Amino acid sequence: MTIVLKPTADLPSGSFVLASASPRRARLLDEAGLSFRVVPSRVEEEERPGESASALADRLAREKALDVAARLGPEPATRVLGADTIVVLGDEVLGKPRDESHAVELLSRLAGNRHRVLTGIAVGWSDDRGVLSRVVTTEVTMRKATRQELLEYVALGESLDKAGGYALQGAGSRFVVDVRGSRSNVIGLPLEETLRLLDEAAGLEADASPASRQEDLSR
């Protein structure tokens, strides 16, 4: 799949900007037949002390959307989709592996256990009319695996850029025995919820007052 990066001014009506360089998110949106271009955010994915997993995913998604929206400028008014996916085991957020050894370590902790995958999604406007966000949670159960199995999987090379060190859409599916909730969420973008959020954001009025905008966003 090739994503065509179009100038914002040339985007068709109803299109948007994806604030992510993730090929998995782009593929999901492309397969859904949506029109968009890619402008990766520059937000650092750092966890704050005492921040819950849900709050982390929501904050990062909003920050990514607003970062790109601010860089685009108000004319023409453009929707911007930001997203952030994290893996949570118990109360601990497991990030992306630092290297292959760390990937094996993360997978050894997930193997034989149930974990949660949270994706924050946020849609903002480049003309600062507001931002909407949601957090979608999916529960994933993995079977037990030997260290040799994990080493062989990590050697395939699909672990290092993925939270938790595995890809449900790839060879990592060999370890997954149950998915409760959105499967696309585990891949990196809960598609059904994202489509709804894009539609909701399209309804934000450009001339709404700050007070009415805040009311909309708190629903």
Residues taking part in catalysis: 84
Q: Which of 26, 15, 63 is nearest to 187 (CA)?
A: 26
Long-range contacts of 165-168, Cβ-Cβ distance < 8 Å, separation of 24 or more: 165/94, 165/96, 165/97, 165/102, 165/103, 165/104, 165/106, 165/107, 165/110, 166/107, 166/110, 167/24, 168/140
**CB neighbour burial string for 42-75, b if at least 16 within 10 angstroms, e if fewer:** ebeeeeeeeeebeebbbbbbbbbbbbbbeebeee
Give me the half-sphere count of Cα atoms (radius 13 Å) on the Cβ side of residue 185.
24
